[in-house]
Structure 1
Amino acid sequence: MRVEIWSDITCPWCYVAQARFEKALAAFPHRDEVEVVHRSFELEPGRAKGDVQPIIKVLMKGKGWSEAQALANERNLTRQSAGEGLPYVMGRDHGGTFDIHRLLHFAKAQGRQHELVGLLYRANFADERSVFDDERLVELAVEAGLDADAARKVLADPKAFAEDVRSDEREAAELGAQGVPFFVLDRKYGISGAQPAEAFSRALAQAWESARPALQVVGAGADAHACGPDGCPVPH
């Protein structure tokens, strides 16, 4: 079974949802047969690479909130994250994520995408240091098991894996995703938002059962003779 997750590394609800999904997946009896693929979704496509600002200012400008409202929002996210055992630093930086998504596609090609996603979430939401810096991204790539020079080369070339990012975003639009996180199970079931772990558990079970329905045995009446552990009885 394949689970595709459209997300953006700057999305706090993606950070929370990822933890809830992983909790559900860890308890899923068939977890070793589930392939998880991370897909790209930029919350601010086209944002300039150097346009990096504190999240409080971004919220005030983008949503028209007062500073008090922006801080209250951050405190709520701190509580929500803590409920999942996740650290959360208020006042982090915020910027465009196109390069980060390109790097994630490079990591996918190397079989290290899941490792890098986890590191990026932690670095963005739990560390004081900004992730909107190429050398910081290279450090995280190396921590995920990738080659430093290869990661630098990807970041230096704006065309590298760019079409992969755009393709993911087109697919998201075709599937009706208007925001993230957005989970798609076997292209049959969609889950939007940071649902509770129990909702992910139900969705995993439903998707698994619908793809592998229980065998319906017919004709198992008294006249349906068969052999078993005790031999093959002959009817009188």
Structure 2
Amino acid sequence: MIERREQGTGSRVAIEVWADLGCPWCYVAKHRLEAAISQRPDADRFEIVMRSFQLDPTAPQGLEKNETSFVRSHPGSTADDLRRAERQMQAIANKEGLRYTVDRWNANTFDLHRVVQYAGDQGRGFAFFSAVQDGFFAGVLNPFDPDALVEVAESVGLDGRRVRDIVAGDEYADRVRADRQEAVELGSTGVPFVVFDRRVGAPGAQKVAAYDQLLEQVAGPAPSERAS
């Protein structure tokens, strides 16, 4: 259940986003949410907090083709089923100005989520995850390569050596698992799952207009102009 509490006028609003790297709808939803926030004059009131949710904890550590991953995790489905769905997602993403390659590789995302937890402690969780996911769907980044993660981490202001140590160890493992469990307890059956100020939960990829309404619900109408 979502805990309901009063939101003071003008106060900070935390928006928690549960997502996984290879989830296409998470990719689209993330950008729609950012668009809804950015069009408000008080956009700086909102803090997006990245939370972990592994869709396929049993995925192998080694790379596997997108088609192989889909068929393995969706019994009864075929590679053709995935290709049709991917072309549809590509059209949706491209229409919204997002790069989207259908030729992707997948692997277990647990280590990535552990780095996201560290990045969150540094106030860079969403920035880090967003940069990794954007590069992944654009087809220009292998997020399962520790060197690539280090490079992205440093680009958003994180300590690359710290990231390399985390990937090599098992830090933050309990927190990754706890995040997923918390999402389930809040009512999530999958991702994307967005919780606004612990007052309203929004499952699935909502339209920009819907996110805008949710922002207004928890933070009030957008002011007519940005305060100086």
Q: Same fold (TM over 0.5)?
A: yes
Instruction: Give the match's secondary structure for 1:37.
Output: strand
Q: CA RMSD in A?
A: 1.6
Which of 135, 138, 156 pairs up with 1:144?
156
Taking a change above 3 Å as real, the CA distance of residues 61 and 164 of structure 1, as seen in their structure-2 partners, is: closer
Question: What residue number does 1:181 align with?
Answer: 192
TM-score normalised by the chain length of structure 2? 0.86
TM-score normalised by the chain length of structure 1? 0.83
Instruction: Give the match's secondary structure for 1:89.
Output: coil
- Report which stretch shifted further, 189-198 or 107-116: 107-116
Question: 1:24–1:200: 8 Å Cα contact kept in structure 2?
Answer: yes
User: Quick check: 1:112 aligned with 2:94?
Assistant: no
Q: Distance in 1 between matches of 2:58 and 2:145?
A: 17
How many residues are aligned here? 208
Question: What residue number does 2:177 align with?
Answer: 166
Larger Rg: 1
Q: Distance in 2 between matches of 1:130 and 1:169?
A: 24
> What is the deviation of 1:129?
4.3
Taking a change above 3 Å as real, the CA distance of residues 62 and 14 of structure 1, as seen in their structure-2 partners, is: same
Question: What residue number does 1:124 align with?
Answer: 136
Question: What residue number does 2:72 align with?
Answer: 61
> What is the deviation of 1:71?
1.1
Q: Distance in 1 between matches of 2:127 and 2:219?
A: 25
Question: 2:132–2:141: 8 Å Cα contact kept in structure 1?
Answer: no
Q: Kindly, what percent of the aligned residue pairs are identical?
A: 37
User: Quick check: 1:19 aligned with 2:43?
Assistant: no
Runs of 4+ in 1 over 3 A off after TM superposition: none
Question: 2:61–2:108: 8 Å Cα contact kept in structure 1?
Answer: yes
Q: Distance in 1 between matches of 2:163 and 2:73?
A: 32
> What is the deviation of 1:23?
0.5
> What is the deviation of 1:67?
2.8
> What is the deviation of 1:120?
0.9
> What is the deviation of 1:153?
0.6
Gaps of 5+ in 2: 1-12, 222-228
Instruction: Give the match's secondary structure for 2:220.
Output: helix
> What is the deviation of 1:128?
4.5
> What is the deviation of 1:131?
1.5
Which of 21, 28, 34 pairs up with 2:46?
34
Question: What residue number does 1:153 align with?
Answer: 165
Instruction: Give the match's secondary structure for 1:25.
Output: helix
Gaps of 5+ in 1: 211-236
Greater length-normalized contact order (CA 8 Å, ≥ 6 residues apart): 2
Question: What residue number does 2:220 align with?
Answer: 209
Instruction: Give the match's secondary structure for 1:105.
Output: helix
Question: What residue number does 1:45 align with?
Answer: 57
